Amino acid sequence: MIYSDQNIFAKILKKEIPCEKILENNFILSFNDISPKAKIHVLVIPKSPYIDIYDFNKNASKEEIVGFWNGVNETIEKLQIVDNGFQLKVHKGETGGQEVFHFHVHILSND
Ligand code: AMP
């Protein structure tokens, strides 16, 4: 599969469609999931175009990987769910339940 810049998250990054932003920096954008499965349901995406977690782990630079996971931590700090806890979910591929082919991590909490 080749990365398509027509996926929904690519369009959010290009500001062609809106999102409810939680946090943005040089490496990541985090925003509310449009169809929340928990009280808090936030997605974190890297700014660079990676299809899924395998592509990201294999091809992202160390700087991008560190920047991404720091962005996840900064997002959970902003959501104030560090102490009470949360779930992280990643879908990879159609069989793995992935619908949007721009790598993303789901943060879920009923805190
Ligand atoms: P996944 O199944 O891991 O690919 O998850 C894709 C997620 O993106 C789903 O939880 C959708 O509800 C969410 N989603 C789809 N379109 C949007 C959108 N425009 N803004 C925010 N979240 C979205």
Backbone angles phi, psi at 44, to 5 degrees: -115, 125
- Atom from ligand 1 closest to the CA of residue 100: 4
Q: Taking 90 as the threshold, does the pLDDT of residue 36 lie above it?
A: yes
**Rounded mean pLDDT of 4-13?**
98
CA 12/CA 72 separation, integer angstroms: 18
pLDDT of residue 111: 79
Type and span of the H or E element at 13: helix 8-13
Taking only the tens place, the pLDDT of each residue in 64-88 is: 999 999 999 999 999 999 999 999 9
CA of 105 to the centre of ligand 1 (A): 10
* Structural domains of the chain, with CATH: 8-109 (3.30.428.10)
Lookup result for tokens 């879908």: 91
CA 103/CA 40 separation, integer angstroms: 19
Ligand 1 pocket by Cβ (under 6 Å): 8, 17, 19, 33-35, 43, 91, 97-100
